[in-house]
Structure 1
Amino acid sequence: MATIKISFDKRADHTTKDKKFPLVLRIGHARKTRDIPFNLHLKENQYDFTTGKVTGILNAVRHTKRIRKIYSDVDLWMDEHASEIKYWEIKKLKSEIEEIFFKKSPARSILSHGAVYLNRLRLEERFSTASSYEDALKALIKFRKNLKGQDDTAPIKTLYRTEDKKLKVLEDLKELDMEIKAMDYAFLKDFKAYMSNRYKSRNTPAIHLRSLQAIMNDAGKTYSDLRDHKPLSSIKKQSHENAPEPLSLEDIMAIRNLELKPQTPIWHTRNYLLFMFNNMGMNHYDMATIKRYQFEDNRIKYYRKKTHYEGDYFSVLQNEEALRIIGFYLNGQEPKEYLFPIIPADTTPDRLYKVNNGKVKIFNKYAKRIADLADIEKKITTYTLRDTWTNIGLDMGIDIRKISSGLGHSSVQVTEKHYGKSVSEKILDEINAKITKVQSP
């Protein structure tokens, strides 16, 4: 049961030179205590714990009334909410009392709540999402540096340290942190302008703003005082339409026919490239993390990492080329070992996303060489295979609903958004051909 009492905080670092102590409301709950100061320093003989009377100072009667009222109100409130409070941590109880009875606005900083949100994502093993959200917070801190006239060009490796398996804001970044309520419309519009000037990709500002909005929305759901604070809701965060440069079937054949020395990095890259194409444009991360047990009965079975929490499960029957590629890498692995030698076996789950990003850069480097050798003028990256699979499917007249399902999109509208130009062109070409077709006499 939670308890309260009036007490002096006699810690040495809280005591004044003339031997005055802070008067505090001491909360006891779950075998822990916390103090809330009344912002009043008194000598021991200036407060009577029996009567609750303050004496010997200016406005003593007013202070006495205030302290008695707060004590009485908190005591009644705790009694009325006892059934709820017994499940709370003392930190929450203290925060509630401070906010309701001491009119103290709680600290709700963006980095602190960002840590809470990122911890939750990490527990859910949504490491790529956590990394993306931290990138948005890093961009915000660089903007804060810029506003303070500090160097904002140096990369920020991390914003947090890990303590007791939880993220804590780095000490040297606390001065750059800011209250969520202080992030108003004007500040965020300036932040968007800063990012638009800084990043080459036109989509980066929108991605970071959406990530920031997710953190702020979560804070609004967590803290009642932030429920109506939504400055990002009226700032446009639209993504620009993809401009994919997919390969043609002729390009794929040219890549297949290249004479490459076996067991070289470029040879492995071609194998991975063709494997992803043969598996509906599989994401590099999904391919890199396939375990041996996921290959069974000539099928690759996996949850798409980007949306696994939504239940995006795939079971893909492997064609002849994919089976031949898999055969190169079957070497008696244990069931839980990786099928492909891309990610080091000792990589911890929280580092998978970053390690894969490094492997993607290597893939893209050798993919460029493959394009040069095959006389392909288009840029080949890990995303190219997904666009290629989609485009070839649309060219073949496959129903967009089936294409959408293969891509793991939540709806056809998502597919149309990402591949809108390609879809529109093919539909218009088909309609135009039918309308303008010359009929035989």
Structure 2
Amino acid sequence: MATIKITLDKRADHTTKDKKFPLVLRIGHDRKTRDIPFNLHLKESQYDFSTGKITGILNATRHTKRTRKTFSDVDLWIDENEGEIKNWEMARLKSEIEQHFFKKSPSRTILNYGGVYLNRLRMEGRFSTVDSYESALKTLVKYRRHLKGLENKPIKTLYEIKDNKMLPLDEFNDFDMEIKAIDYSFVRNFKAYLINRTQSKNTPNIYLRSIQAIMNDAARSFQDLSNHKPLSKIKKQSFENAPAPITIEDINTIRNLELEPNTPIWHTRNYLLFMFNNMGMNHFDMAVIKRFQFEDDRIKYFRKKTHYEGDYFSVLQSDEALEIIKYYLNDQEDNDYLFPIIPNSTTPERLHRVNKDKVKLFNKYASRIAELVGIDKKITTYTIRDTWTNIGLDMGIDIRKISSGLGHSSVQVTEKHYGKSVSTKILDEINAKITQES
């Protein structure tokens, strides 16, 4: 059980020149002690430890009543909430007492709480979300640097992992800020800064939604932040990127392209065709397929982006896909990656970042392939997904089946992204019938 007492803090660095000591409420909990000062400095003779009486200073009687009342109120509160408090860490207990009985506003900074939230996601294995949310916090730090007129230099990471916690690096302390200081005006200016610095319409809103997720979690955790929601008034809508598919004829041209075996561009062509043969598989899903997931001519996997929703796939491999897989089978262990894209030694924390680098490499060589076969479009990992979908829609396959293959949470998600393509095809057919010459 937590304990409290009123005492003097006699540490040398807290002692005044005239031998006075801070009067503090000392908390004992979880084998730790912490002090909360009463903002009084007393000599040992000025405080009676047995009665709690203060003497020899201005307004001594009033200070005595205040400290006694605070002690009594905290003691009663601890007694009434003992069952809950026993599960708290010392930091939370001290913060709650400071807030409720000393009227001290707790420090809730965006980087500190961001570290708490991101560490929870890290423990859950949601490393891609951690990376995305940290990127948003990095832009916030860069904006704070901008406001101070400082150089906008790259940030590798904001945190260090120590004792299984994510702690902000000291170099960013000057750019941290209280969550309550992030108000509507600040957010509006931050959004304008993001729009001015990024080419993508979606990037500013992705960053804002990420920061909002961190602040919403803080609001659910702390009563004093429960009504602080400045981002709720800021528009953060998503803009769907227009699908940019290539045709089945383009795919066939890529299939027939003469390339020197075992070169980076040759491997990229293999990966491109494998993704196409697997319902426009995401590059990350392909990169982390392990040997044991290939069995009975099937690839079995959970889609990484939506695996929390239970998106499991078991895909029968086409002859082309089997030929590609056969090339890369080289007596791997069951837990080794099937494709030599990401090193087997890569830690789970680094998987997402390593894959981002590999995607850049894929896109580079895919664009080179497009040039070689005369495709006047930029080919990326998304192009393959859009192409698989577009060919299926052209063939008249039910959009519900297409949606299932894409791993979308609902048909509405598919329609939102590809609805314009469907509508365009329908309108073209109608217009052709109406305007045809008799």
Q: Matches of 1:292 and 1:415 in 2, distance apart?
A: 31
Q: Matches of 1:325 and 1:172 in 2, distance apart?
A: 48
Report the equivalent of 1:11. Answer: 11
Q: Matches of 1:94 and 1:194 in 2, distance apart?
A: 38
SS at match of 2:385: helix
**Within 5 Å, which residues of 2 pair with 1:14-413?**
14-152=14-152, 154-413=153-412
Q: Matches of 2:437 and 2:376 in 1, distance apart?
A: 39
2:180–2:228 contact (8 Å) kept in structure 1: yes
- Residue 439 of structure 1 and its aligned partner are, at CA, apart by 11
Q: Matches of 2:97 and 2:366 in 1, distance apart?
A: 60
- Residue 307 of structure 1 and its aligned partner are, at CA, apart by 1.5
Q: Matches of 2:125 and 2:422 in 1, distance apart?
A: 34
TM-score by length of 2: 0.97
The one-letter amino acid paired with 1:182 is A
Q: Matches of 2:263 and 2:437 in 1, distance apart?
A: 56
State the percentage of identical aligned residues. 74
The one-letter amino acid paired with 2:8 is F
The one-letter amino acid paired with 2:141 is I
Q: Matches of 1:347 and 1:141 in 2, distance apart?
A: 28
TM-score by length of 1: 0.97
- Residue 175 of structure 1 and its aligned partner are, at CA, apart by 1.1
Q: Matches of 1:383 and 1:87 in 2, distance apart?
A: 47
Q: Matches of 2:343 and 2:55 in 1, distance apart?
A: 71
Q: Matches of 2:432 and 2:247 in 1, distance apart?
A: 22
Q: Matches of 1:244 and 1:438 in 2, distance apart?
A: 29
Listed one character per residue, the Cα deviations across residues 289-347 of structure 1 (whole Å, up to 9, x for unaligned) are 10000001111011111111221111111111111110110111110000001111111
Q: Matches of 1:143 and 1:167 in 2, distance apart?
A: 22
Q: Matches of 2:165 and 2:422 in 1, distance apart?
A: 45
1:303–1:314 contact (8 Å) kept in structure 2: yes
Listed one character per residue, the Cα deviations across residues 392-439 of structure 1 (whole Å, up to 9, x for unaligned) are 1111111111111111111111112222321321343355567x3879
The one-letter amino acid paired with 1:273 is L
Larger CA deviation: 187-196 vs 39-48:
39-48
- Residue 370 of structure 1 and its aligned partner are, at CA, apart by 0.5
Q: Matches of 2:418 and 2:116 in 1, distance apart?
A: 35
2:46–2:56 contact (8 Å) kept in structure 1: yes
- Residue 285 of structure 1 and its aligned partner are, at CA, apart by 0.7
- Residue 94 of structure 1 and its aligned partner are, at CA, apart by 1.2
The one-letter amino acid paired with 1:98 is E
2:243–2:417 contact (8 Å) kept in structure 1: no
The one-letter amino acid paired with 2:68 is R
- Residue 92 of structure 1 and its aligned partner are, at CA, apart by 1.6
- Residue 115 of structure 1 and its aligned partner are, at CA, apart by 0.6
Q: Matches of 2:272 and 2:410 in 1, distance apart?
A: 26
Q: Give the superposed CA RMSD.
A: 1.4
1:241–1:420 contact (8 Å) kept in structure 2: no
- Residue 191 of structure 1 and its aligned partner are, at CA, apart by 0.3
- Residue 19 of structure 1 and its aligned partner are, at CA, apart by 1.1
Listed one character per residue, the Cα deviations across residues 150-204 of structure 1 (whole Å, up to 9, x for unaligned) are 112x111110111112210010101100011110111001000000000111111
SS at match of 1:23: strand
Larger CA deviation: 332-341 vs 406-415:
406-415
Q: Matches of 1:159 and 1:253 in 2, distance apart?
A: 46
The one-letter amino acid paired with 1:86 is K
Q: Matches of 1:267 and 1:48 in 2, distance apart?
A: 84
SS at match of 1:74: helix
SS at match of 2:381: coil
SS at match of 2:246: coil
Q: Matches of 1:200 and 1:330 in 2, distance apart?
A: 41
Larger CA deviation: 87-96 vs 261-270:
87-96
The one-letter amino acid paired with 2:31 is R
Q: Matches of 2:246 and 2:165 in 1, distance apart?
A: 44
Larger CA deviation: 28-37 vs 349-358:
28-37
SS at match of 1:201: coil
